[in-house]
Amino acid sequence: MQLRIRQLGKRFGSTPVLRGITLDVEDRELFFLLGPSGCGKTTLLRTVAGFYQPDEGELWFGDRRMNGVEPHQRNTGMVFQNYALWPHLTVAENVAYGLDVRAIAPQEKRERVAEALRMVQMEALAERSPNQLSGGQQQRVALARALVIRPDVLLLDEPLSNLDARLRLEMRDEIRRIHEQTRLTTLYVTHDQKEALSMADRMAVLRDGVIEQLGKPRDVYRSPASRFVADFIGEANWLLGTVRSRTPEVVAIDTAAGTLLANSAPASVAPGSQVEVGFRPEAVRLRPTGPDNRIDAVIEQVTYLGETEQYRLRWPNGSTFKAFEQNPEALRSAGTSLSCQVAPADIFVIPILTNPAPPHAGSSRSG
């Protein structure tokens, strides 16, 4: 089922929460809505579910316009952040609830409940009550309850936020496995960058009710469209710079760390433009292999974490930046001078807007 959203707007009172959202979620896609609290991602999910009606724009499931359609007529399955299991019902009865509402025949209901529980590997616990289950097991039951109705669109509202770190990792794999098995069109809301990067087919990063960037996780991470996206999706080091020259192959930018080369930049970036130059800490090479983008620095702090070593490095002008090294072998101490390097392919260039639009405040209800 393809999900199409066109110029969707939603307000709570006089506060705009969604502003002109246009988005396609393709059939069978696992699509993530990512952003900080108040950006509008949960409001968008609940509008797709039918809990909210849009004030502007259109929402389509395939060729069916959904504006004004009640939630129970949309055939969506939803997994809530708090699971919302009935404490007085068994696991099997919780899963069967949606089928009871749909008046499914008893034999078919038993078969579909068993199938859904097998899918989430909970068939052995069918007769337990929810309060006898761990958080991860409760999440599996909530997922089975959403799957058992065979929805056209599966909606997940921060489903892993209440789990500890180990269970979150385990459930990431489970949700991805279940999606590959069912191939349901899935819309997944989270503020967790690692969840989105590790699971999504594509993702949209929201800020103040608008989409800042849309794309595949690798593209969003490596080529952020704005400083907000770069900082939200991961760590980044930043320098102010002025574009010296530009060719189809390379952009040369003068910065406090010297002239840095980047392989790409937005079309609006021209010689003389003021820009922000960013690069990820893991992109810093502590063993330079060529002349381009070499940076002289002094080690200010070293933090050893086993599989990685984290460095805070200081430029001659006194400002600092971060570098990460995987599987560290060399022993480097604070106060040591070194030359490092960032490949032109790992540099991203963000134009500085001379008259930026004022930010729009979100609502505490927008999620």
Q: Are 67 and 54 in contact (CB under 8 A)?
A: yes
Mean pLDDT calculated for residue range 184-190 = 97
Q: Is 3.40.50.300 the CATH classification of the domain at 1-75+151-234?
A: yes
What residue segments make up the domains of the chain, in order of their start? Answer: 1-75+151-234, 85-147, 235-351
Assign domain 235-351 to its CATH superfamily. Answer: Nucleic acid-binding proteins (2.40.50.140)
pLDDT digits (tens, 9 = 90+) for 62-87: 999 999 999 999 999 999 888 889 99
pLDDT digits (tens, 9 = 90+) for 105-133: 999 999 999 999 999 999 999 999 999 99
How far is Cα 63 from Cα 57, in angstroms, rounded to an integer? 15
Pairing of strands 185-190, 30-34: parallel
> Could you tell me which of 82, 85, 86 has the C-alpha nearest to residue 159?
82
Given this model, what pLDDT does residue 156 score? 96
> Could you tell me which of 211, 273, 209, 237 has the C-alpha nearest to residue 12?
209
Global confidence as pTM? 0.90
The sign of the dihedral angle between the CA atoms of 133, 137, 143, 144 is negative
Given this model, what pLDDT does residue 334 score? 94
Given this model, what pLDDT does residue 289 score? 87
Given this model, what pLDDT does residue 166 score? 86
Q: Phi/psi zone of residue 327: left (φ > 0), alpha (ψ -120 to 50 degrees), beta?
A: left
pLDDT band at 344 (very low <50, low <70, confident <90, very high): very high
Given this model, what pLDDT does residue 311 score? 96
Mean pLDDT calculated for residue range 144-169 = 92
Mean pLDDT calculated for residue range 336-343 = 94
Given this model, what pLDDT does residue 130 score? 93
More confident residue, 297 or 101: 297
Pairing of strands 64-65, 56-61: antiparallel
Q: Are 343 and 265 in contact (CB under 8 A)?
A: no
